[in-house]
Amino acid sequence: MKDLKEKTVLITGGASGIGKIMARLMLERKAKVVIWDIDQASLDATLSEFSGKGAISGFKVDVSDAEHVKETAQRVKQENSVVDVVINSAGIVVGKFFNEHTSADIAHTLNINVAGSMYVAKAFLEGMLAQNSGHICNIASSGGLISNPKMSVYAASKWAVIGWSDSLRLEMKQIKKDVHVTTIMPYYIHTGMFEGVRSRIPILQPEAAALTIVKAIERNRTMVTIPGYIHRVTRFFQATLPIPVFDWFAGSVLGIYKTMEHFVGRKK
């Protein structure tokens, strides 16, 4: 998907955080942008702010509701025919020890982060297959590469997204369809979602992270970590170090296991 001009790009979670920044970057590339978000007030504000930047529309959508996704996808397709690019950016995190989670916490996180991404991709994949072109970009997390206290359910959801997303990429290759799949695994991004996190590894700036994701789509990248060394370093030391030594390295040297100690999350 090298040239995004005149392409229809749908972004979930597009009214805030990196989703909103990616919407602006896509408009700058002359794409037609459709944003989905659960927050009507943020959706309205974003549409108003970007109305002079190009073709943009928006819908309030709960991506965890399969029927709502199907119904809204049909409305989008009636207005835009085929969606060329889908970016699954919507996500939530509950920063607690696992024993403190409620059943509702667990279900809500998995339904939005995992099932929601699948529902959205499924809703638009048929059109991409029919025209034999398209791109699905799934925002996972470096939390899907390494275990971490106080984010067990979030980490599980992102491990699931990584496995599903890259399997989808391989399926597109096997059936010989020109539909590209990009899996993004960023470190913590300074957007408010992880407010209170303290990290020895620099927390990512949202503008730079969003630009990296858009460029990954333009270049048909497959699996991208931000920063780029995260995947290589994590996998190398997980493969070569005994678990107690890796725990010492990740916990005491990198400080990863303590990053969520002061987590407060985005203010509602």
Counting beta carbons within 10 angstroms of the beta carbon of residue 33, is it exposed (0 to 12), middle (13 to 18) or buried (19 or more)? buried
Which residue, 167, 216, 162, is CA-closest to 185? 162
Closest CA to 193 of 46, 95, 60, 87: 95
Dist CA 98 CA 95 (whole Å): 9
Instruction: Please tell me the distance from the alpha carbon of residue 257 to that of residue 123, in angstroms, as a whole number.
Output: 37
Q: What are the two backbone dihedrals, phi and then psi, of residue 84, each rounded to the nearest 5 degrees?
A: -85, -35
Annotated active-site residue 257? The verdict is no
Selected catalytic residue, list 154, 188, 229, 257: 154
Q: How far apart are CA 172 and CA 164, in angstroms?
A: 12
Burial track 65-104 (b if 16+ CB lie within 10 A, e otherwise)? bbeebeebbeebbeebebbbbbbbbbbbbbbbeeeebeee
For the annotated catalytic residues, the residue numbers are 154
